[in-house]
Amino acid sequence: MNKILKLFSIIILLCVSITNVISAEKVEYLKTDWTFKGLFGKFDRASLQRGYQVYTEVCAACHSMKYLSYRNLSEKGGPEFSVAQAKAIAASFEVTDGPNADGEMFQRPGKLSDKFVMPYENVKAAEAANGGAYPPDMSVLVKARGGGVDYIYSLLQGYEEAPNGMILDDGVHYNKYMYGKKIKMSAPLSDGIIEYSDGTNASVEQMSKDVTTFLMWAAEPSLEARHQMGFKAIVYLIILTILVYFSMKRIWSRVKSEV
């Protein structure tokens, strides 16, 4: 048993060192309690709904979220709006459909099956409207940045006066968490920029947390299902391992040897 434990711990150690080498980038980000971390991590439903509000009222002016559909908003493990609410949200957007029988494109209200409407026609249009910088699509943004949620959360609160001696071009802003510390996006959030429908005080910190939670869900919509299944799978494996260990001992007891 001793040597099995040794072998097992060596493998775990190897895994830990591999992951350490890979995530060697060390930046101190702002910390907050994320409810979706840990073995049983789940999204805070209210925070997700508020986060959607921040996204749609602030971010969506420039950032697309092209891999999400309106139906996702009412699905389990997400913001869990009611189907009626999700339908209303979808219907509030104008979607280009077609061509119709006359061969023409037409506008209609959005449906649950529609993908999130994009703020710009294409990347070029987005760049043209934003001083040459493309506002990245937000569908998997959290997973596409080294620091993940902590990075996004910090970035939203990282706007400051540029230090003395640093010269910023027109349309460039100082953000201490941005790679290179220069960012083309102006500070998107300010206290009270939106009014939460649930009455929560819309401080920059609160909005940052909510919208980051929403972005985490957008990037990883199956997170809750994954955590739940993972726990069951690992408990099952551990029980089976113990049972197999004792049958192994039994079988090998017929031989004069050690296992």
Partner 1 sequence: MSDHEYTPKSKAGKWFNDRLPLLTLANHLTDYPTPKNLNYWWTFGGILTFCLITQIVTGLTLAMHYIAHADMAFESVEHIMRDVNYGWLIRYIHANGASMFFLAVYIHIFRSLFYGSYKSPREIIWIIGIIIYLLMMAAAFMGYVLPWGQMSFWGATVITNLFSAIPLVGEGIVTWLWGGYSVDNPTLTRFFTLHYLIPFLILGLVVLHIWALHVPGNNNPVGIDIKKPSKDTVPFHPYIVIKDGFALLMFMIVFAFFVFYAPNILGHADNYIEANPLVTPAHIVPEWYLLPFYAILRSVPDKLLGVVAMLSAILILAVLPWLDTSKIRSAVFRPLYKQFYWILVADVLILGYMGAMPAEGLYLLIARVATAYYFLHFLVILPVLGLKERTIPLPLSITEPVLGGSPNMAMAKKKESKIE
Q: Which two tokens stand for residue 225?
A: 């299902």
Q: Which is nearer to partner 1, 61 or 259 (CB)?
A: 259
Among 45, 145, 181, 182, binds partner 1 (CB under 8 A): 145
Q: What is the DSSP letter of 163?
A: P
Which string of x and - marks every residue 16-45 that binds partner 1 (by CB under 8 A)?
-xxx-xxxx--------------x------
Task: Show Cβ contacts of residue 207 under 8 Å, excluding neighbours closer than 6 positions.
Answer: 50, 54, 58, 156, 189, 193, 194
CB-wise, 166 or 238, nearer to partner 1?
Answer: 238
- Using CA atoms, how far residue 158 sits from 30, 109, 214, 246, in Å, is 9, 38, 19, 56
Which tokens is 38 given? 């840990």
For residue 112, give the nearest of 70, 76, 72, 75 by alpha carbon: 70
Work out whether 11 is an interface residue with partner 1 (CB under 8 A): yes
Rounded Cα gap, residues 57 and 190, in angstroms: 13
Angle subtended by helix axes 204-219 and 148-156, to nearest 10: 150
For 58, the token pair is: 């602030």
Positions 232 through 251 that interact with partner 1 (CB under 8 A): 233-234, 237-238, 240-241, 244-245, 247-248, 251
Using the rule CB under 8 A, which residue among 77, 90, 221, 224 binds partner 1?
Answer: 221
Contact call for residue 84 and partner 1 (CB under 8 A): no
List contacts with partner 1 (CB under 8 A): 3-4, 6-8, 11-12, 14-15, 17-19, 21-24, 39, 67-68, 72, 136, 139-140, 143-146, 148, 179, 219, 221-222, 225-227, 229-231, 233-234, 237-238, 240-241, 244-245, 247-248, 251-252, 255-259
